[in-house]
């Protein structure tokens, strides 16, 4: 595809997005959900490889950095226990539930089932956060949902890599080495992100040109992400920790207008990236494939949703989330999105059960976005949402 064709495609996407966005606002439908509905009937806009590359290398760093930049660290420290649980043990529980559940029912061998579990483990809070902003929910609830998504992305991607390699090579997985690998990859990515943020800030610290500070942030988002991936550590944790660190450096040493200028740029960039993501996700999902193996899809949905409900209602009340209303919202926030599809389409062509995995992922993403995305706002309007006490 040449530059002219790419430019025309981007303009077409923006044109459709503008019409859909205005219509969604008038109809009180979440923008992301509306984009998915409109694009589902379309033929795939990108091949498997091009979709995965576009999402993981071009769009994901923007989404991670923008979310990290806007993450309220003070509120995160208040709700760190439920966030930490859902992002690490929660991911492991979800992966185990899907893997063991599908294996015990005989629907899929254990290792491909665990790989599928890792792919559908990361949550995508884009539609949820948009609803939060429209309804003005407590900041600590928003941070709980967004913080979970940011950190569980990194954990799930590391598990995905380990299971994919094991399935391709036939080597068994050692739990101890897998745990060490997850920790090393996450910490390595985080270190690269903080170091990159520090170097970028040293370069722009003495500049009064606000645009140079934006350039510094772009360097962190993509430089840290790509550098970490090159070194085989977590690019997600690199962009995440780089965004948090850069925001901290900027707020300590510069006036609010500089910080606001950087934030405005990333808000626009993230909205643009989200628009493209959900349009190509909708077009990428081949609806007819969802129904090829209905038992696998139904079982995967039941296991994903069931494990989340068990964690939210069974564990979070003991981790500082006693409010039933909060629990309802967190349970409904387990929407899956573009990262799951990108990971599924990144699987090697010859990997066992690849088609079954992709078809199940298509179904999980489409069903969670359409059902939970559409029901979240009406349910939240009926709930009494209050901030958690500061001592938690």
64-97 residue pLDDT tens: 999 999 888 888 998 999 999 999 999 999 999 9
Assess contact for 338 and 278: CB atoms under 8 A.
yes
- DSSP notation for 314-366: HTGGGTT---HHHHHHHHHT----HHHHHHHHTS-TTSTTHHHHHHHHHHHHH
pLDDT at residue number 390? 52
Between the CA of residue 132 and those of 86, 127, 377, what are the distances in Å?
Answer: 19, 9, 8
pLDDT at residue number 374? 86
Beta-carbon contacts of residue 133 (< 8 Å; ≥ 6 apart):
none
pLDDT at residue number 28? 82
Distance CA 172, CA 353 (A): 17
* Residues belonging to the chain: 392
The CATH number for 44-382, chosen from 3.30.70.141, 3.40.50.2300, 3.40.50.300, 1.20.1530.20, is 1.20.1530.20
Handedness of CA 175, 178, 182, 187 (dihedral sign): positive
Between the CA of residue 349 and those of 158, 171, 344, what are the distances in Å?
Answer: 20, 18, 11
pLDDT at residue number 223? 96
pLDDT at residue number 237? 93
> Could you tell me how many helices (H) and strands (E) the chain has, helices first?
20, 0
Distance CA 390, CA 387 (A): 9
pTM for the structure as a whole? 0.89
Give 318's DSSP letter.
G
pLDDT at residue number 1? 53
Chain centroid to Cα 135, Å, comes to 21
First to last CA, the chain: 53
pLDDT in tens, 282-299: 888 888 888 888 999 999
Structure tokens at 363: 């179904």
Residues of the chain with confidence (pLDDT) below 50: 391-392
Q: Of 202, 237, 205, 207, which is closest to residue 221 (Cα–Cα)?
A: 237
């Amino acid at each position: 595809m040449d530059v002219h064709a790419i430019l025309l495609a981007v303009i077409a996407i923006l044109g459709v997005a503008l019409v859909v966005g205005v219509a969604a606002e008038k109809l009180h439908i979440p923008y992301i959900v509306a984009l998915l509905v409109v694009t589902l009937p379309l033929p795939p806009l990108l091949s498997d490889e091009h979709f995965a590359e576009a999402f993981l290398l071009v769009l994901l760093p923007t989404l991670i950095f923008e979310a990290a930049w806007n993450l309220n660290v003070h509120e995160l420290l208040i709700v760190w226990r439920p966030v930490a649980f859902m992002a690490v043990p929660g991911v492991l529980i979800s992966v185990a539930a899907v893997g063991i559940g599908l294996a015990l029912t005989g629907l899929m061998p254990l290792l491909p089932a665990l790989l599928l579990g890792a792919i559908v483990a990361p949550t995508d809070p884009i539609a949820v956060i948009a609803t939060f902003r429209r309804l003005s929910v407590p900041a600590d609830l928003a941070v709980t949902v967004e913080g979970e998504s940011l950190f569980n992305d990194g954990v799930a991607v590391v598990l995905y890599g380990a299971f994919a390699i094991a399935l391709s090579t036939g080597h068994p997985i050692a739990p101890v080495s897998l745990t060490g690998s997850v920790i090393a990859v996450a910490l390595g990515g985080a270190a690269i992100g903080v170091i990159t943020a520090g170097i970028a800030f040293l370069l722009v610290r003495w500049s009064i040109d606000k645009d140079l500070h934006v350039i510094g942030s772009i360097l962190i988002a993509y430089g840290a992400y790509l550098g970490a991936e090159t070194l085989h550590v977590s690019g997600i944790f690199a962009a995440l920790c780089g965004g948090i660190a850069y925001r901290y450096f900027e707020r300590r040493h510069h006036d609010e207008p500089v910080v606001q200028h950087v934030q405005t740029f990333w808000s626009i960039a993230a909205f643009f990236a989200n628009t493209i993501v959900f349009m190509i996700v909708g077009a990428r999902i081949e609806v007819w494939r969802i129904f090829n193996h209905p038992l696998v899809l139904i079982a995967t949905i039941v296991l994903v949703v069931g494990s989340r409900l068990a964690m939210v209602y069974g564990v979070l009340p003991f981790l500082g989330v006693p409010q039933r209303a909060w629990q309802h919202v967190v349970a409904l926030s387990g929407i899956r999105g573009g990262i799951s599809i990108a990971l599924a389409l990144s699987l090697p062509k010859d990997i066992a059960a690849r088609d079954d995995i992709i078809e199940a992922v298509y179904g999980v993403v489409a069903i969670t976005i359409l059902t939970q995305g559409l029901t979240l706002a009406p349910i939240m309007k009926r709930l009494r949402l209050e901030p958690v006490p500061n001592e938690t």
